[in-house]
Amino acid sequence: MTNLESTVSTIAPIVDTLAPRFTRLSDEIWADPELRWEEHRSMERSIEAAEEYGARITRESGGVPTAFSAEWGSGKPVIGFLGEYDALASLSQAAHSTVREPDPDSDTDAGHGCGHNLLGAGSLLAAAATAKYLADAGLPGTVRYYGCPAEEIASGKTYMVLGGAFDDVDAAISNHPGDAMSADQWKSLAYTQVYFRFRGVAAHAGGAPQHGRSALDAAELMNVGVNFLREHMDDADRIHYAFTDAGGPSANVVQPTAELYYIVRSPTVSRMRLLYERVKKVARGAAMMTETEVEIDFEGAVAELLPNRTLEERMHSNVVELGGVPFDEADQEYGRKIAEGLPTGAEADTRRRLGLALDSPPYYDGVPPLVDPAHRFQTTGSTDVGDVSWVTPTVQIVAGTATLGTPPHSWQMVTQGKSPAAHKGMIHAAKAMAATALDLVVDPSLLQAARDEFKGIVSVTPYDRPIPEGTVPPPLRATYRPA
């Protein structure tokens, strides 16, 4: 193998050369804010960009309709890059703005509240740059980018894992937009998402209420019951819901239908299952009380993230060599305007976490130290990267694309997603990802160490698959309704 003095200095110029095309891709994905399982336009735009750089395309990766893989090279090792491109409902937002206003050019109400336009384009940029270096240097190895749908509360990668998409991958690399570039791996929560559909009997609410059985009453009673359940669950557990059918607009009709969409989270798959069973009991109790029927329709689930310290340390060393994201004063001035509208205390909390002065610039241009694994931060969010991390060693970098304290799933996160600052963070993260991938190719001992660490863990604690074998992705089910 070629011994490189620095994979960072080797790969960074290639990333810079390719960056304009993938910056444009991030803006194109931003303009196509499609919800889970419906990301056809964003998928096609990503495929077009990959094909421009000679990738071989496989559609429906893992049997998922809006997933694909783009592959370069051949042989071992197989290095996978994970990308995403789905958006969130009700977050349409004008780009690079400082006030809440819908995107005037969008044909949906959705927006990239977690920066998945940057995530997908950034990972594809890193993959294309790595593949170009290997081809130019005549080095063996397969580089594979995965376009992954439905991460936002739908577990796209979990279904891809179930379909065998990652079975031959030796290591996987990903990124996620955030407010400080860091190789730290946080602990995430396992979760399940499920529909509770109540069916009752319609009747005249005024003239003959005794003949009705209210599905809406059942749904509301379920929510009341789960609220009491929250008093008796672990501090890290989370339960959320949305009404997807409130029975209709007529108050003088006993509502014959009602539907709730629930998410149940806990630190491990096994604990999540226990909490989920308790939630189901509450739903059945609500149906009994109202003499209605309840149908429980499982949509998907994800496992908690399994960090890989070997890959984390190598990624961190590459980030240190790169240095912080090169934000300029124009970025910081825009950031100060964004910061004025952030929730009270959000900036200060983030600065305290990073050990920064309270008057530090809104866009963080430093590199935080790696946290001791014994003190990993337990985030109460979830990611389907977790399931990939249980089938192959995985590392994920946080890309510094937003101001300190910018909450995910907020209009402020969306509006920054097409800004010059966000593009700089995306490109910087791509350099760290590509350098780490190149490390794995040219240094077989690094890959072996990462795999040895991974095997040592899963031999004791095997992957607890959160989706039952044989479960098909929601868009392939007869009961599926687009979001």
Task: Give the per-residue pLDDT at 203.
Answer: 97
Q: 292 and 200 in contact (C-beta within 8 Å)?
A: yes
Domain boundary among 273, 300, 327: 300
* 313 and 281 within one domain: no
In 3D space, the residue among 245, 241, 194 whose CA is nearest the CA of residue 216 turns out to be: 245
Can you give the three-state secondary structure of 323-392, one letter per residue?
A: CCCCCCHHHHHHHHHHHCCCCCCHHHHHHHHHCCCCCCCCCCCCCCCCCCHHHCCECCCCCCHHHHHCCC
The domain boundary residue, chosen from 242, 269, 300: 300
Sign of CA dihedral 233, 89, 177, 451: positive
Does 453 lie in the same domain as 329? yes
The Cα 190–Cα 172 span in angstroms is 19
Per-residue pLDDT, 56 = 98
Identify the helix (H) or strand (E) that includes residue 141.
Answer: strand 141-148
Residues 265, 378 contacting (CB under 8 angstroms): no
User: Do 149 and 42 reside in the same domain of the chain?
Assistant: yes
Instruction: Convert the pLDDT of each residue in 400-458 to its tens digit.
Output: 999 999 999 999 999 999 999 999 999 999 999 999 999 999 999 999 999 999 999 99
Of the three residues 262, 280, 300, the one that is the final residue of a domain is: 300
Listed in sequence order, the residues at least 6 apart from 77 whose beta carbon sits closer than 8 Å to its beta carbon are 141, 142, 170, 171, 440, 441, 444, 447
Residue 479 resides in a domain: no
Q: Are 88 and 113 in contact (CB under 8 A)?
A: yes
Q: Does 465 map to a domain?
A: no
Whole-prediction pTM: 0.95
Is residue 259 packed enough to be buried (19+ CB in 10 Å), middle (13-18) or exposed (0-12)? buried
Residues 213 and 157 in one domain: no
Q: Are residues 29 and 84 in the same domain?
A: yes
Tokens 């071992």 identify what position? 76
Tokens of 222: 């379920």
Q: Is 170 part of any domain?
A: yes
d(CA 269, CA 300): 12
316 and 293 belong to one structural domain:
no
Q: Are residues 315 and 282 in the same domain?
A: no
Do the Cβ atoms of 457 and 389 come closer than 8 Å?
no
**CATH number assigned to the domain comprising residue 312:** 3.40.630.10
244 and 390 share a domain? no
Residues of the chain with pLDDT under 70: 1-3, 482-483
Per the CB < 8 A criterion, the answer to whether 361 and 332 are in contact is: yes
- Mean of all residue pLDDT scores within the chain: 95
Structure confidence by residue, pLDDT tens digits, 149-196: 999 987 999 999 999 999 999 999 999 999 999 999 999 999 999 999
Predicted local distance difference test score (pLDDT) of residue 468: 87
Q: Is the peptide bond before 77 cis (omega within 30 degrees of 0)?
A: yes
Q: For the chain, first and last CA: distance in Å?
A: 49
Residue 236: CATH number of its domain: 3.30.70.360
* pLDDT score of 3: 65
DSSP per-residue codes, 70-100: EEEEESS-EEEEEEE---BTT----TT-SS-
- 463 lies in a domain? no
Return d(Cα 384, Cα 276) in angstroms, integer.
Answer: 18
Does residue 469 form part of some domain? no
CA distances from 208 to 212, 220, 340 (A): 7, 21, 55
Same domain for 433 and 316:
yes
Question: What pLDDT, on a 0 to 100 scale, did the predictor assign at position 483?
Answer: 63
* Burial grade of 36 (CB within 10 A; 0-12, 13-18, 19 or more): buried
Nearest in space to 66 (alpha carbons), one of 104, 34, 112: 34
Could you read off the pLDDT of 352-365 as tens digits, one per residue?
Answer: 988 999 889 999 99
**Predicted local confidence at residue 2, as pLDDT:** 57
Q: How many domains does the chain have?
A: 2
Q: Among residues of the chain, what percentage have pLDDT more than 70?
A: 99
Is 233 in the same domain as 321? no
**What's the token pair of residue 370?**
């790696």
Specify whether 442 is located in the same domain as 386: yes
How many C-beta neighbours within 10 Å does residue 44 have?
15
Q: What domain range includes position 396? A: 7-188+304-458
Assigned domain for 478 exists: no
Domain shared by 294 and 382, yes or no? no
- Residue 431: inside a domain: yes
Residue 20 lies in a domain: yes
